[in-house]
Amino acid sequence: MLKVLSSPRMLAFHALVALIVPGFIWLGFWQLDRWEQRSAAAHLQQANLTADPVPLAELTGVGADVARADRWRTVEAAGTWDTEHELLVRHRDGSGGVGFHVLTPLVTDEGPAVLVNRGWIPRGETARDTPEAPAGAEGRVTVTGRLQFSETEENTGLSNREGLPEGQIMIVEVDALAEGLPYPVYGGYMELTRQDPAPDPAPERVAVRELTSGMSLSYAVQWWVFSIVAVVGWAFLVRREIRDAREPVPNVDAGV
């Protein structure tokens, strides 16, 4: 039996099973970890979206970024719009396809400003056009919105590269944008959900991209099933090889 199991063909099969089974098991746990992370993010989003509004200054400060645990929290601020420093964020989706998000500083009553994503507007005739955004309400306004941490090249894969049309950016990189503003700026930015008084017309509100746990748990189970199938297949082949070795070899000279 040892001779059968140590044949070159069987040794190659043993090595293959010894290689792929731990790999399948590891891939299963990797997908399980992804599922746990995505589930935690989805639960955090739902909890923060349904939490009571709080003043903006409770969750962020000048030069400080938003903690990931506070992302999606509803915050409130009051002040005046600074449309002279308004920017358009390129390649953002809305009901009419790809367009722009309108990013406007709100100079708060406390002094610092907060960058506010006032919503989506459609693009112009070409990708380099800079469409005119609906004006914000004049005078003092009170805004409510979802708090977001600063976008970066690391968490978006994009950057505010040179050569963009004037007044357009790719990502809301708060620290970099704050350097060009004449006042201190709170960390993070807001996605506007309500404004008083409300302008008409106004940019289309940014919809919440709801997070889900995805299919990672199913993928984890699939990898573990593959590992079981590999072991069962290995055991079946070993048993067959042993059985075949034990069968008597026919005597070709019999009956002559």
Asked, for residue 89, whether it belongs to a domain, the answer is: yes
Do 62 and 39 lie in one domain? The reply is: no
In a domain, 205, yes or no: no
What's the whole-number mean pLDDT along residues 182-199?
95
Alpha carbon distance 133, 102 (integer Å) = 7
Instruction: Name the 3-class secondary structure at 107.
Output: strand
State the Cα–Cα distance between residues 146 and 192, nearest whole angstrom: 7
- Same-domain status, 164 and 236: no
pLDDT value of position 215: 86
Indicate which CATH number applies to the domain containing 70. Answer: 2.40.50
Q: Are residues 121 and 23 in the same domain?
A: no
Q: How confident is the model at residue 249 (pLDDT cuts 50, 70, 90)?
A: low
| Per-residue pLDDT at 256 | 46
State pLDDT tens for residues 111-135: 999 999 999 999 888 878 888 999 9
Q: Identify the domain containing residue 21 by its residue range.
A: 2-44+215-246
Residue 87 and residue 27 share a domain: no
Mean pLDDT, rounded, of the chain: 88
Question: Do the domain assignments include residue 74?
Answer: yes
Give the residue-averaged pLDDT of 7-19: 79
More confident residue, 78 or 213: 78
- CA-closest candidate to residue 50, choices 73, 27, 17: 73
Q: Does residue 253 fall inside a structural domain?
A: no
Residues 80 and 187 occupy one common structural domain:
yes
What Å distances lie between residue 177 and 56, 151, 153, 183, 222, CA to CA? 19, 11, 14, 11, 46
Whether 9 and 67 share a structural domain: no
Residues 35 and 58 in one domain: no
Say whether both 153 and 240 belong to one domain. no
For residues 100 and 89, the answer to whether their CB atoms sit within 8 Å is: yes
- Has residue 254 got a pLDDT over 60? no
Number of domains in the chain: 2
Judge whether 203 lies within some domain: no
**Over residues 208-218, mean pLDDT:** 83
Q: Does the pLDDT of residue 55 top 90, yes or no?
A: yes
| Identity of the amino acid at 154 | E
**Does the residue 150 lie in any domain?**
yes
pTM above 0.85, yes or no: no
